[in-house]
Amino acid sequence: MASPSPLPLSGTLHELHSTRNNISFGTTMGMDSDAGTSGSQIALHRYKRRKISSQKNVSSLCEVHSEFEASLPTLRSPGYYMEPCLKELAKRELMDSGFCSRVQDFTVGRFGYGCVKFLGNTDVRLLDLDQIIRFGRHEVVVYGDESAKPEVGQGLNKSAEVTLVLKVRSSIEKGELYDIVEKLRLSTKRQGADFISFNPSNGEWKFLVHHFSRFGLSEDDEEDIVMDDATAVQHPLETNTGDVSDIDEATLVEPNGAVLSHSLPAHLGLDPIKMKEMRMVMFPVDEEEDHDFSGEFKQREQSTGKECIRSPLHHSAWRMSNKSSSSVARKTPLALLEYNPGSVESNSPGTILMAQQNKGVPLKTAKVEGFKLDLKRKTPITENHSHNIVDAALFMGRSFRVGWGPNGILVHSGTSVGSKDSQSVLSSVIILEKVAIDKVVRDENNKVRKELVESCFISPLELHKEIKHETKEIEIGSFKLKLQNPVSNRLMLSEVCRSYIGIIERQLEVPEVSSSARGVLMHQVMVWELIKVLFSAREISGQSKSAGADNEEDMMHDRSEGSSEVDLEALPLIRRAEFSYWLQESVCHRVQDEVSSLNESSDLEQVLLLLTGRQLDAAVELAASRGDVRLACLLSQAGGSTVNRADVSQQLELWRTNGLDFNFIEEDRIRIFELLAGNIHGALHGKTIDWKRFLGLLMWYQLPPDTSLPFVFHTYQQLLADERAPHPVPVYIDEGLVEEAMSWRVGERYDLAYYLMLLHANEGSEFGLGKTMFSAFSSTHDPLDYHMIWHQRAVLEAVGAFSSNDLHVLDMGLVSQLLCLGQCHWAIYVVLHMPFCDDFPYLQATLIREILCQYCESWHSQELQRQFMEDLGIPSAWLHEAMAVYFNYSGDFSTALEHYIACANWQKAHSLFMTSVAHSLFLSAKHSEIWRLATSMEDHKSEIEHWDLGAGIYISFYLIRSSLQEENNTICESDSLESKNSACKDFFSCLNESLVVWGGRLPVDARVAYSKMGEEICDLLLSDHSEGSTRDDQFSCFDTVFSAPVPEDIRSSHLQNAVALFTCSLLEA
């Protein structure tokens, strides 16, 4: 570790020893002739003689040396200097005791930034200059900690000449130079300083200050003045006659003078100065680390001279190599080797590779407009935009794993999602991808269609909203939230299902919808039809009985046209007939496709295919047209009574018993006979068939015609468990709707229709397949598409067919889709329908507030969305809170303050009022607006910290000003001036205390506003010439004025008036 003293101990002792010898010799020779020799020099000479005569006093000398060094100022920050230098100060202090208490024109500077020359004599003893003076880009701060600032005239808080080096273009026209000088002059005057000069050749801006806080250019001033985009690279130890740069700049030089090529900001096309400022804000601890190793840095700087310059990354590496004693180890940032932006069309992602070498190619930096993500392409999940990412953690050598942004943006390291390349990738490769959450509303040209947005999301949600709801009110602190739950009966289910089917049919009418999307939409239609068949009910003789719609069998048709009196025992058969018709409709298109693919000679195979779809009329007609009347008669009785099945089965068994050679009978004819006999496995031997047709064959030809649907479903489930039935795979796998190959494992996921059948079969008992049933994969190949399955779950819960409290993934999936489309109000509507959970009572409230805050930019300007949210019962305070955060982030502080007040966040409103709003309004003379805002918070001042030293200051100011301006004061004349003086004294005390309490949170303009308030109150107080006021009262007023936080020139003017008054009083006496 470095020595705590500014100079190395051994070297200092040697220098002081030799210096003292020289001083003593001169003092001895001139002792008789110079009568003015100081006593300190004589004492020093005697001390030297004592030291030479005895070696026992070495410890005494060390103590004197320690005390001597402790009195010197300290300055360890890299790149800083002072004049006179530390060595010169030590020599002068030895020659002239007390020299450090009266240093003439003491100067502190920072190479490449500027310097401060403190005019006159300055006491520099015991000053920690590292803590007092800090130079930044175009600014200098002296006593940044207001609590440590001495009175004006004490320490370094005194008049000084400031020189700041501005990075301006080398080629400036005469007109531009005049504008720059005028703007600098105006900026200097606004800060209470006096402009001296500006030298365009070296960028030096000189001005005179009377006391210190922060002086320099604001961001607005920098934008107005023509600045150089690229910082010139020169050696920081050069004099101030030319442009210089600091060692902390991003583009630096190697020991041989070559420009570094591994500057990360330069490779990313960023402004190194802005990146350095961002680093200082985000990682201030590094500044402290620079201080910790200041001793080593100074020794290295002195030993290597001009070859000591290193980049910040090299500084980090050097510090870590010398910090072996530290208990916390941090990985050393490595220099940039190569940056390859990667093409969007290529498979290889863009990379940012880190290594310790550099290519030595000079770079030219260019200023860019912030950090923007170019995501014009709506990328699928497998593409990346890694060249767009700019990360502060990467800049500092940190790393991260994964991060989600809005609208499906995914930032992560390593292999891109969906990549087939198994080769390991460096963790420093940053991938930026956009996950396509909105694929469902895109046509085959990958363009978003408004018609699809309307039919996929808006219309179904509007239909859902029309269903009767019951509400549950929960308390969230002082707010109340109304959770909603749709409630319906099974009599209305058929109508609801038909309404959803109508919405899907409108989607099918949209042109340019892809074929795979049409297949999924047709499947959704069939799912709604199945829900209607399995779970609806009909009114029979004034009673609600479970039944299906009238569609298929002649029995059903006759019953629907006849009396409404229905035998209760026939209701299961009616539902079975409806389900049979649904199965026929579901497989009809596949049967027709397969039949059309056969040639005309394969009539028996065609008949078999028609039977798998229960198209008996077409099968009988085909057999009769081929002249096979007996087969046509058998087909006409297919699926009928079990007696006919038994007869066909017995005949087949007799043939086998009698040794009939089946080779003389067509194979397809035997298959048909086996099917008519109820042996579906024998009929399908060697053939594959989809699961819906297999289920139909099981119900139509094997089980008795009066078998209930639950028994049919359980039988199929048992055959499935015994591996004797095809798996009910999802429709997009079953019908090949997806071009790319889909990986599927046995039992991983099944079709939603199959789960609905199991739900019906297990109705009344616990159903444990809810999560698998309502997975996106059960109905679509898009794992992020929940737009229709959410409604199907909601309708089933509304009629009491299903209930679950653990399907939050389903809810959040739809919420994400809605947010991606900017439908924040509907997203909140979905959140309100999430079931309440005792383990997470604030889940809905947390989600709603996060949605409001994160997506405020998209909904705050939409009046319809805001009104919709208010109609849902969302507390208006939450809306105002989100808008306050958004406008505060956007820099519209006045609007943010209004919303903070509206949401009753008094502490934040007060803080924003003090730090960003009040001073701007005051300097713009908008006093009525300040009064309105301050008084609106006054009733809640008990909830606000430092109210009296915050907004209360402004209220007190206006009250005192009004009192001082009144001509007819209610206070008697004899006590008027004394009372006003007391009120002003208290006000000034509050002003000063407020400056201490708020400290660095108050910008320069706020301090100017405080100064203006103090100045105005001082003028009004001193202009009061009340009759009966004594000289003592007037002098007391001047004492009060001197405590006001006003500029020194104003204070000096008041002092002159006080002296004049005192002179007059002496003359009068």
Q: How many CA atoms lie within 13 A of 19 on its CB side?
A: 17
- For residue 527, pLDDT over 90 is answered with yes
Extract the tokens encoding 672: 């048909």
Q: Which residue type is seen at 920?
A: S
**What is residue 20's predicted lDDT score, i.e. its pLDDT?**
41
Q: Give the model's confidence band at 617: pLDDT under 50 very low, under 70 low, under 90 confident, else very high.
A: very high
Span of 380-394, 610-624, 863-877 with lowest mean pLDDT? 380-394
**What is residue 23's predicted lDDT score, i.e. its pLDDT?**
38
Span of 478-492, 548-562, 917-931, 940-954 with lowest mean pLDDT? 548-562
Show Cβ contacts of residue 728 under 8 Å, excluding neighbours closer than 6 positions. 691, 692, 720, 750, 751, 753, 754
CB neighbours (10 Å) of residue 478? 8
**What is residue 419's predicted lDDT score, i.e. its pLDDT?**
61
CB neighbours (10 Å) of residue 775? 24
Extract the tokens encoding 584: 């026929």
Strands, sheet with 430-434, edge to edge from the N-terminal-most edge strand: 402-404, 409-413, 430-434
Angle between helices 876-890 and 843-854 (to 10 degrees): 40
pLDDT in tens, 98-156: 888 889 999 999 998 999 999 999 988 888 899 899 998 888 999 888 888 888 888 88
Span of 101-105, 263-267, 299-303, 333-337 with lowest mean pLDDT? 333-337
**What is residue 1020's predicted lDDT score, i.e. its pLDDT?**
86
Span of 275-279, 285-289, 522-526, 868-872 with lowest mean pLDDT? 285-289
**What is residue 1026's predicted lDDT score, i.e. its pLDDT?**
57
Q: Which helix (H) or strand (E) holds 576?
A: helix 571-596
**If you average pLDDT over every residue of the chain, what do you get?**
75
**What is residue 264's predicted lDDT score, i.e. its pLDDT?**
54
Nearest C-alpha neighbor of 66 from the set 154, 5, 140, 2: 5
**What is residue 281's predicted lDDT score, i.e. its pLDDT?**
59
**What is residue 466's predicted lDDT score, i.e. its pLDDT?**
93
**What is the mean pLDDT of the segment spanning 190-210?**
88
Q: Which helix (H) or strand (E) holds 214?
A: strand 214-216
Span of 354-363, 865-874, 908-917 with lowest mean pLDDT? 354-363
- For residue 790, pLDDT over 50 is answered with yes
Sign of CA dihedral 219, 223, 229, 230: negative
Q: Whole-angstrom Cα distance, residue 1045 to residue 457?
A: 62
Highest mean pLDDT among 6-10, 46-50, 254-258, 367-371: 46-50
**What is residue 556's predicted lDDT score, i.e. its pLDDT?**
43
**What is residue 701's predicted lDDT score, i.e. its pLDDT?**
92
Extract the tokens encoding 659: 């040794």
DSSP label at 947? S
**What is the mean pLDDT of the segment spanning 396-400?**
47
Span of 113-122, 222-231, 773-782, 1022-1031 with lowest mean pLDDT? 222-231
Q: How far is CA 831 from the centre of its chain?
A: 21
CA distances from 753 to 550, 728, 915 (A): 21, 9, 61
- For residue 494, pLDDT over 60 is answered with yes
pLDDT in tens, 206-264: 999 988 878 888 766 676 665 554 443 333 333 333 333 333 433 333 333 333 334 45
SS (H, E, C) 182-212: HHHHHHHHHCCCEEEEEECCCCEEEEEECCC
Q: Whole-angstrom Cα distance, residue 185 to residue 524?
A: 73
**What is residue 409's predicted lDDT score, i.e. its pLDDT?**
72
Q: Which helix (H) or strand (E) holds 559?
A: helix 554-561
Q: Give the model's confidence band at 394: pLDDT under 50 very low, under 70 low, under 90 confident, else very high.
A: very low
Q: Which helix (H) or strand (E) holds 380?
A: none
**What is residue 389's predicted lDDT score, i.e. its pLDDT?**
40
Extract the tokens encoding 340: 């390859």
Q: How far is CA 588 from the centre of its chain?
A: 51
DSSP label at 227? B
Extract the tokens encoding 699: 């119900």
Asked if residue 486 lies in contact with residue 798, where contact means CB atoms within 8 angstroms, the answer is yes
Nearest C-alpha neighbor of 668 from the set 650, 682, 647, 689: 682
Show Cβ contacts of residue 885 under 8 Å, excluding neighbours closer than 6 positions. 853, 856, 896
Extract the tokens encoding 569: 């025992």
Give pTM, 2 decimals. Answer: 0.62
Span of 86-100, 516-530, 735-749, 1005-1019 with lowest mean pLDDT? 735-749
Asked if residue 31 lies in contact with residue 37, where contact means CB atoms within 8 angstroms, the answer is yes
Query: Across 366-462, where does the E strand assignment appear?
Result: 402-404, 409-413, 430-434
Q: Which helix (H) or strand (E) holds 379?
A: none
- Kindly report whether the peptide bond that precedes residue 875 is cis, defined as omega within 30 degrees of 0: no
Please, what's the b/e burial string for 600-610 (b: 16 or more CB within 10 A of its CB; e: otherwise)? eeebbbbbbbb
Q: Give the model's confidence band at 416: pLDDT under 50 very low, under 70 low, under 90 confident, else very high.
A: low
Helix, strand, or coil here: 248? coil
Query: Across 239-382, where does the E strand assignment appear?
Result: 336-340, 351-354
- For residue 391, pLDDT over 50 is answered with no
Instruction: Burial-class residue 115 by CB neighbours within 10 Å (0-12, 13-18, 19+).
Output: buried
Q: Give the model's confidence band at 324: pLDDT under 50 very low, under 70 low, under 90 confident, else very high.
A: very low
How wide is the angle at C-alpha 25 spanned by C-alphas 22 and 27, nearest 5°? 110
